[in-house]
Amino acid sequence: MSEYKEAISKAADWMANHQKEDGSISPLEAGIGSYYKLPMAFISAGRIESAWKLLTWIRDNILDANGDFTGPYERGIYEGVYPYANAWLAVGAHVNGFFDISIPAVNFLLGIQSSEGGFLTDKALIGEVAKGSHGDGDSVYKAFNKPEITFDIMCTAMAGIACLYTGNLDSALKTASLFEKMYSEQPDLNRGFYFHYKPGEGLFKTFSEDMSAAYYLDFKKEKQFYFELGIAAVFLTKLAQFSGRDNYLKLAEDYLQLIKKAAPDKYSTPQSGKIGWAASYLFNVTEKEEYRNMAREVADYLVAAQDPSGCWYNVSKEKDLKVTTMDVTSEFIVLLHEMLPSL
Protein backbone atom coordinates (compact mmCIF):
# COMPACT_ATOMS: atom_id res chain seq x y z
CA MET A 1 0.00 0.00 0.00
CA SER A 2 2.85 2.40 0.80
CA GLU A 3 4.12 2.47 -2.79
CA TYR A 4 0.75 3.68 -4.08
CA LYS A 5 0.52 6.42 -1.47
CA GLU A 6 4.11 7.47 -2.17
CA ALA A 7 3.31 7.74 -5.90
CA ILE A 8 0.31 9.96 -5.10
CA SER A 9 2.39 12.19 -2.84
CA LYS A 10 5.24 12.56 -5.36
CA ALA A 11 2.79 13.48 -8.13
CA ALA A 12 1.00 15.99 -5.92
CA ASP A 13 4.35 17.63 -5.10
CA TRP A 14 5.13 17.86 -8.81
CA MET A 15 1.77 19.51 -9.55
CA ALA A 16 2.00 21.84 -6.53
CA ASN A 17 5.30 23.16 -7.88
CA HIS A 18 3.33 24.58 -10.80
CA GLN A 19 0.91 26.54 -8.61
CA LYS A 20 1.40 30.29 -8.34
CA GLU A 21 0.70 32.41 -5.29
CA ASP A 22 -2.71 33.50 -6.63
CA GLY A 23 -3.77 29.84 -6.96
CA SER A 24 -3.42 29.60 -10.74
CA ILE A 25 -1.39 26.92 -12.49
CA SER A 26 1.63 27.73 -14.62
CA PRO A 27 1.94 27.95 -17.55
CA LEU A 28 -1.28 29.97 -17.85
CA GLU A 29 -1.19 29.78 -21.63
CA ALA A 30 -1.70 26.01 -21.35
CA GLY A 31 -5.28 26.83 -20.46
CA ILE A 32 -7.84 24.51 -18.95
CA GLY A 33 -5.90 21.34 -19.74
CA SER A 34 -3.31 22.10 -17.08
CA TYR A 35 -5.74 22.36 -14.17
CA TYR A 36 -9.22 20.92 -14.85
CA LYS A 37 -8.51 17.70 -12.92
CA LEU A 38 -6.46 19.39 -10.22
CA PRO A 39 -9.19 20.28 -7.70
CA MET A 40 -9.96 16.56 -7.48
CA ALA A 41 -6.28 15.65 -7.51
CA PHE A 42 -5.27 18.05 -4.78
CA ILE A 43 -8.00 16.98 -2.39
CA SER A 44 -7.31 13.32 -3.18
CA ALA A 45 -3.72 13.92 -2.08
CA GLY A 46 -4.79 15.84 1.03
CA ARG A 47 -3.66 19.21 -0.37
CA ILE A 48 -6.81 21.10 0.62
CA GLU A 49 -5.19 24.54 0.70
CA SER A 50 -3.87 24.09 -2.84
CA ALA A 51 -7.29 22.91 -4.04
CA TRP A 52 -9.11 25.85 -2.48
CA LYS A 53 -6.63 28.41 -3.80
CA LEU A 54 -7.04 27.00 -7.30
CA LEU A 55 -10.83 26.91 -7.10
CA THR A 56 -10.97 30.47 -5.82
CA TRP A 57 -8.88 31.57 -8.81
CA ILE A 58 -11.12 29.60 -11.19
CA ARG A 59 -14.28 31.11 -9.69
CA ASP A 60 -12.90 34.64 -9.89
CA ASN A 61 -11.24 34.40 -13.32
CA ILE A 62 -12.59 31.51 -15.40
CA LEU A 63 -16.21 30.72 -14.46
CA ASP A 64 -18.66 32.77 -16.53
CA ALA A 65 -22.32 33.74 -16.09
CA ASN A 66 -23.51 30.66 -18.02
CA GLY A 67 -21.64 28.24 -15.74
CA ASP A 68 -19.03 27.61 -18.43
CA PHE A 69 -15.28 27.84 -17.90
CA THR A 70 -13.99 30.41 -20.37
CA GLY A 71 -11.63 33.20 -19.33
CA PRO A 72 -8.78 34.59 -21.43
CA TYR A 73 -7.02 31.31 -22.23
CA GLU A 74 -7.71 29.01 -25.19
CA ARG A 75 -8.69 25.35 -24.70
CA GLY A 76 -6.46 24.07 -27.49
CA ILE A 77 -6.72 20.29 -27.82
CA TYR A 78 -9.57 20.24 -25.29
CA GLU A 79 -12.03 22.10 -27.53
CA GLY A 80 -13.16 18.84 -29.10
CA VAL A 81 -14.03 17.22 -25.75
CA TYR A 82 -15.65 20.30 -24.27
CA PRO A 83 -17.94 18.81 -21.59
CA TYR A 84 -15.23 16.46 -20.31
CA ALA A 85 -13.12 19.23 -18.78
CA ASN A 86 -16.20 21.06 -17.49
CA ALA A 87 -17.45 17.90 -15.78
CA TRP A 88 -14.12 17.21 -14.06
CA LEU A 89 -14.09 20.77 -12.76
CA ALA A 90 -17.69 20.50 -11.58
CA VAL A 91 -16.96 17.30 -9.63
CA GLY A 92 -13.73 18.72 -8.21
CA ALA A 93 -15.50 21.87 -7.07
CA HIS A 94 -18.35 19.88 -5.54
CA VAL A 95 -16.20 17.55 -3.44
CA ASN A 96 -14.29 20.61 -2.19
CA GLY A 97 -17.54 22.34 -1.20
CA PHE A 98 -17.36 25.09 -3.85
CA PHE A 99 -21.04 24.80 -4.73
CA ASP A 100 -20.98 28.27 -6.26
CA ILE A 101 -18.89 26.64 -9.00
CA SER A 102 -20.28 23.11 -9.19
CA ILE A 103 -24.00 23.90 -9.39
CA PRO A 104 -23.81 26.47 -12.23
CA ALA A 105 -21.24 24.26 -13.98
CA VAL A 106 -23.59 21.27 -13.98
CA ASN A 107 -26.51 23.47 -14.99
CA PHE A 108 -24.43 24.45 -18.03
CA LEU A 109 -23.89 20.77 -18.84
CA LEU A 110 -27.60 20.05 -18.51
CA GLY A 111 -28.24 22.77 -21.08
CA ILE A 112 -26.14 20.96 -23.69
CA GLN A 113 -27.53 17.47 -23.04
CA SER A 114 -29.57 15.76 -25.73
CA SER A 115 -32.85 14.01 -24.99
CA GLU A 116 -30.96 10.84 -25.98
CA GLY A 117 -28.52 11.39 -23.10
CA GLY A 118 -25.37 12.59 -24.88
CA PHE A 119 -23.69 15.97 -24.53
CA LEU A 120 -22.55 18.43 -27.19
CA THR A 121 -18.79 18.29 -27.60
CA ASP A 122 -18.20 20.88 -30.32
CA LYS A 123 -17.15 24.31 -29.02
CA ALA A 124 -18.74 26.26 -31.87
CA LEU A 125 -22.14 24.60 -31.44
CA ILE A 126 -21.99 24.98 -27.68
CA GLY A 127 -21.30 28.65 -28.31
CA GLU A 128 -24.41 28.90 -30.48
CA VAL A 129 -26.55 27.49 -27.70
CA ALA A 130 -24.97 29.69 -25.05
CA LYS A 131 -25.26 32.88 -27.12
CA GLY A 132 -28.94 32.25 -27.71
CA SER A 133 -31.02 31.26 -24.74
CA HIS A 134 -28.91 28.64 -23.02
CA GLY A 135 -30.78 25.38 -22.81
CA ASP A 136 -33.55 26.67 -25.12
CA GLY A 137 -35.20 23.71 -26.79
CA ASP A 138 -35.05 25.03 -30.36
CA SER A 139 -31.40 26.06 -30.29
CA VAL A 140 -30.38 22.76 -28.69
CA TYR A 141 -32.43 20.80 -31.22
CA LYS A 142 -30.73 22.57 -34.12
CA ALA A 143 -27.29 21.99 -32.61
CA PHE A 144 -27.85 18.26 -32.13
CA ASN A 145 -29.06 17.87 -35.68
CA LYS A 146 -25.88 19.16 -37.28
CA PRO A 147 -24.45 16.41 -39.52
CA GLU A 148 -21.02 16.41 -37.82
CA ILE A 149 -22.28 15.74 -34.29
CA THR A 150 -21.54 12.50 -32.45
CA PHE A 151 -21.54 11.63 -28.75
CA ASP A 152 -18.54 9.82 -27.33
CA ILE A 153 -18.57 7.71 -24.19
CA MET A 154 -15.75 9.54 -22.39
CA CYS A 155 -17.35 12.99 -22.45
CA THR A 156 -20.85 11.67 -21.85
CA ALA A 157 -19.86 9.44 -18.93
CA MET A 158 -17.88 12.18 -17.17
CA ALA A 159 -20.78 14.61 -17.57
CA GLY A 160 -23.06 11.89 -16.22
CA ILE A 161 -20.78 11.48 -13.20
CA ALA A 162 -21.02 15.23 -12.57
CA CYS A 163 -24.82 14.92 -12.72
CA LEU A 164 -24.71 12.18 -10.08
CA TYR A 165 -22.49 14.18 -7.74
CA THR A 166 -24.95 17.07 -7.87
CA GLY A 167 -28.11 14.97 -7.56
CA ASN A 168 -29.37 15.23 -11.14
CA LEU A 169 -30.59 11.65 -11.38
CA ASP A 170 -32.96 12.15 -14.32
CA SER A 171 -30.14 13.43 -16.52
CA ALA A 172 -27.90 10.56 -15.45
CA LEU A 173 -30.64 8.07 -16.31
CA LYS A 174 -30.82 9.51 -19.83
CA THR A 175 -27.09 8.95 -20.19
CA ALA A 176 -27.46 5.38 -18.94
CA SER A 177 -30.16 4.74 -21.54
CA LEU A 178 -27.74 5.87 -24.24
CA PHE A 179 -25.08 3.48 -22.93
CA GLU A 180 -27.60 0.63 -22.89
CA LYS A 181 -28.41 1.39 -26.51
CA MET A 182 -24.76 1.65 -27.53
CA TYR A 183 -23.95 -1.70 -25.94
CA SER A 184 -26.94 -3.48 -27.47
CA GLU A 185 -26.24 -2.13 -30.98
CA GLN A 186 -22.63 -3.38 -31.15
CA PRO A 187 -22.35 -5.67 -34.20
CA ASP A 188 -19.63 -7.97 -32.83
CA LEU A 189 -18.51 -7.73 -29.20
CA ASN A 190 -15.79 -10.30 -29.82
CA ARG A 191 -13.97 -8.00 -32.23
CA GLY A 192 -14.30 -4.52 -30.80
CA PHE A 193 -16.48 -1.68 -29.59
CA TYR A 194 -17.80 1.45 -31.34
CA PHE A 195 -17.79 4.26 -28.77
CA HIS A 196 -19.35 7.13 -30.71
CA TYR A 197 -23.08 7.56 -31.31
CA LYS A 198 -24.82 9.59 -33.98
CA PRO A 199 -27.92 11.36 -32.61
CA GLY A 200 -31.10 9.94 -34.03
CA GLU A 201 -29.26 7.27 -36.01
CA GLY A 202 -27.16 4.91 -33.90
CA LEU A 203 -23.55 3.84 -33.60
CA PHE A 204 -21.16 5.97 -35.65
CA LYS A 205 -19.23 3.69 -38.00
CA THR A 206 -18.36 5.85 -41.01
CA PHE A 207 -14.78 6.93 -40.41
CA SER A 208 -11.53 6.54 -42.29
CA GLU A 209 -9.04 3.82 -41.38
CA ASP A 210 -6.48 6.34 -40.13
CA MET A 211 -9.09 7.71 -37.69
CA SER A 212 -10.35 4.35 -36.47
CA ALA A 213 -8.68 4.50 -33.04
CA ALA A 214 -10.69 7.65 -32.24
CA TYR A 215 -14.02 5.88 -32.83
CA TYR A 216 -13.52 2.15 -32.44
CA LEU A 217 -11.76 -0.01 -29.85
CA ASP A 218 -10.23 -2.87 -31.82
CA PHE A 219 -9.58 -5.80 -29.51
CA LYS A 220 -6.82 -7.13 -31.78
CA LYS A 221 -4.74 -3.95 -31.69
CA GLU A 222 -2.61 -2.43 -28.95
CA LYS A 223 -2.65 1.18 -27.72
CA GLN A 224 -6.40 1.51 -27.93
CA PHE A 225 -8.70 3.89 -26.03
CA TYR A 226 -9.35 1.42 -23.21
CA PHE A 227 -10.54 4.26 -21.01
CA GLU A 228 -13.81 4.43 -22.96
CA LEU A 229 -14.90 1.12 -21.44
CA GLY A 230 -13.51 2.07 -18.04
CA ILE A 231 -15.27 5.39 -17.61
CA ALA A 232 -18.58 3.91 -18.79
CA ALA A 233 -18.28 1.27 -16.07
CA VAL A 234 -17.38 3.90 -13.44
CA PHE A 235 -20.44 5.97 -14.31
CA LEU A 236 -22.78 2.97 -14.35
CA THR A 237 -21.47 1.64 -11.03
CA LYS A 238 -21.99 5.04 -9.40
CA LEU A 239 -25.47 5.19 -10.92
CA ALA A 240 -26.31 1.75 -9.55
CA GLN A 241 -25.26 2.91 -6.08
CA PHE A 242 -27.26 6.16 -6.41
CA SER A 243 -30.43 4.61 -7.83
CA GLY A 244 -30.34 1.19 -6.20
CA ARG A 245 -31.04 -0.40 -9.60
CA ASP A 246 -29.09 -3.59 -10.17
CA ASN A 247 -29.50 -3.47 -13.96
CA TYR A 248 -26.97 -0.64 -14.08
CA LEU A 249 -24.49 -2.66 -12.05
CA LYS A 250 -24.87 -5.53 -14.50
CA LEU A 251 -24.30 -3.17 -17.41
CA ALA A 252 -21.19 -1.77 -15.69
CA GLU A 253 -19.84 -5.31 -15.44
CA ASP A 254 -20.75 -5.98 -19.06
CA TYR A 255 -18.71 -2.97 -20.17
CA LEU A 256 -15.70 -3.80 -18.05
CA GLN A 257 -15.71 -7.50 -18.89
CA LEU A 258 -15.07 -6.54 -22.51
CA ILE A 259 -11.57 -5.42 -21.60
CA LYS A 260 -10.59 -9.08 -21.16
CA LYS A 261 -10.90 -9.48 -24.94
CA ALA A 262 -8.51 -6.60 -25.67
CA ALA A 263 -4.81 -6.74 -26.57
CA PRO A 264 -2.11 -7.71 -24.03
CA ASP A 265 -1.33 -4.08 -23.13
CA LYS A 266 -4.86 -3.48 -21.83
CA TYR A 267 -3.67 -3.01 -18.23
CA SER A 268 -0.33 -1.40 -18.96
CA THR A 269 -0.67 1.83 -20.91
CA PRO A 270 -1.68 5.32 -19.77
CA GLN A 271 -5.03 4.60 -21.43
CA SER A 272 -5.56 1.78 -18.90
CA GLY A 273 -5.96 4.04 -15.87
CA LYS A 274 -9.74 4.20 -15.99
CA ILE A 275 -9.91 0.41 -16.30
CA GLY A 276 -8.33 0.19 -12.85
CA TRP A 277 -10.66 2.92 -11.60
CA ALA A 278 -13.72 0.98 -12.76
CA ALA A 279 -12.38 -2.32 -11.44
CA SER A 280 -11.87 -0.76 -8.02
CA TYR A 281 -15.45 0.51 -7.89
CA LEU A 282 -16.82 -2.82 -9.00
CA PHE A 283 -14.74 -4.72 -6.46
CA ASN A 284 -16.00 -2.51 -3.66
CA VAL A 285 -19.61 -3.15 -4.70
CA THR A 286 -19.49 -6.80 -5.79
CA GLU A 287 -16.48 -8.09 -3.78
CA LYS A 288 -15.47 -10.15 -6.81
CA GLU A 289 -11.77 -10.90 -6.58
CA GLU A 290 -11.24 -10.60 -10.32
CA TYR A 291 -11.89 -6.85 -10.08
CA ARG A 292 -9.41 -6.44 -7.24
CA ASN A 293 -6.78 -8.23 -9.34
CA MET A 294 -7.57 -6.02 -12.31
CA ALA A 295 -7.25 -2.85 -10.21
CA ARG A 296 -3.96 -4.03 -8.74
CA GLU A 297 -2.50 -4.76 -12.15
CA VAL A 298 -3.30 -1.26 -13.37
CA ALA A 299 -2.13 0.38 -10.14
CA ASP A 300 1.16 -1.52 -10.25
CA TYR A 301 1.67 -0.37 -13.82
CA LEU A 302 1.05 3.26 -12.83
CA VAL A 303 3.60 3.08 -10.02
CA ALA A 304 6.17 1.52 -12.34
CA ALA A 305 5.50 4.06 -15.10
CA GLN A 306 5.85 7.15 -12.90
CA ASP A 307 8.77 9.41 -13.78
CA PRO A 308 11.30 9.98 -10.97
CA SER A 309 10.24 13.63 -10.95
CA GLY A 310 6.73 12.56 -9.88
CA CYS A 311 4.83 13.15 -13.11
CA TRP A 312 3.42 10.71 -15.65
CA TYR A 313 3.69 10.97 -19.43
CA ASN A 314 0.87 10.11 -21.79
CA VAL A 315 3.27 9.01 -24.53
CA SER A 316 6.83 9.91 -23.54
CA LYS A 317 8.90 12.76 -22.13
CA GLU A 318 10.04 13.64 -25.64
CA LYS A 319 6.61 13.56 -27.30
CA ASP A 320 4.20 14.85 -24.64
CA LEU A 321 2.92 18.39 -24.64
CA LYS A 322 3.41 20.01 -21.23
CA VAL A 323 -0.35 20.31 -20.84
CA THR A 324 -0.83 16.59 -21.54
CA THR A 325 1.69 15.64 -18.87
CA MET A 326 -0.11 17.85 -16.36
CA ASP A 327 -3.45 16.35 -17.39
CA VAL A 328 -2.48 12.69 -16.94
CA THR A 329 -0.51 13.38 -13.77
CA SER A 330 -3.55 15.00 -12.17
CA GLU A 331 -5.77 12.14 -13.31
CA PHE A 332 -3.54 9.38 -12.01
CA ILE A 333 -3.42 11.01 -8.58
CA VAL A 334 -7.22 10.76 -8.46
CA LEU A 335 -7.40 7.24 -9.87
CA LEU A 336 -4.73 5.80 -7.57
CA HIS A 337 -6.38 7.43 -4.57
CA GLU A 338 -9.77 5.99 -5.48
CA MET A 339 -8.25 2.57 -6.13
CA LEU A 340 -6.62 2.40 -2.67
CA PRO A 341 -9.53 0.64 -0.91
CA SER A 342 -9.31 -2.28 -3.34
CA LEU A 343 -5.53 -2.68 -3.43
Mean pLDDT along residues 257-277: 98
Q: Domain boundaries in the chain? A: 2-342
Contact criterion met (CB below 8 Å) for 237 and 204: no
Contact criterion met (CB below 8 Å) for 174 and 182: no
**pLDDT (0 to 100) of residue 17:** 96
Strands of the chain, DSSP E: 151-152, 192-194, 196-198, 202-203, 216-218
**pLDDT (0 to 100) of residue 45:** 98
295 CB-side CA count, 13 A: 26
Rounded distance, CA 86 to CA 53, Å? 18
81-138 pLDDT per residue, tens: 999 999 999 999 999 999 999 999 999 999 889 889 999 887 666 665 554 444 444 4
Rounded distance, CA 40 to CA 333, Å? 9
Rounded distance, CA 271 to CA 195, Å? 15
Rounded distance, CA 159 to CA 218, Å? 25
Contact criterion met (CB below 8 Å) for 150 and 196: yes
- Rg of the chain on CA atoms, in Å: 19
**pLDDT (0 to 100) of residue 69:** 94
H or E element in which residue 123 lies: helix 123-131
The percentage of residues in the chain with a pLDDT greater than 90, rounded to a whole number, is: 79
> Given pLDDT bands bounded at 50, 70 and 90, which one contains residue 296?
very high
Rounded distance, CA 246 to CA 237, Å? 9
Q: Whole-angstrom distance between the N-terminal and C-terminal Cα of the chain?
A: 7
Q: How far is CA 72 from CA 14, 31, 68, in A?
A: 25, 9, 13
Name the residue type at position 320: D
Considering the domain 2-342 in this protein, what is its CATH number? 1.50.10.20
Sign of the dihedral through C-alpha 160, 256, 85, 88: positive
178-211 pLDDT per residue, tens: 999 999 999 999 999 999 999 889 999 998 888 9
The mean pLDDT value of the chain amounts to: 92
**pLDDT (0 to 100) of residue 222:** 96
> Given pLDDT bands bounded at 50, 70 and 90, which one contains residue 148?
low
| Closest C-alpha to 309, from 2, 1, 18 | 18
**pLDDT (0 to 100) of residue 134:** 43
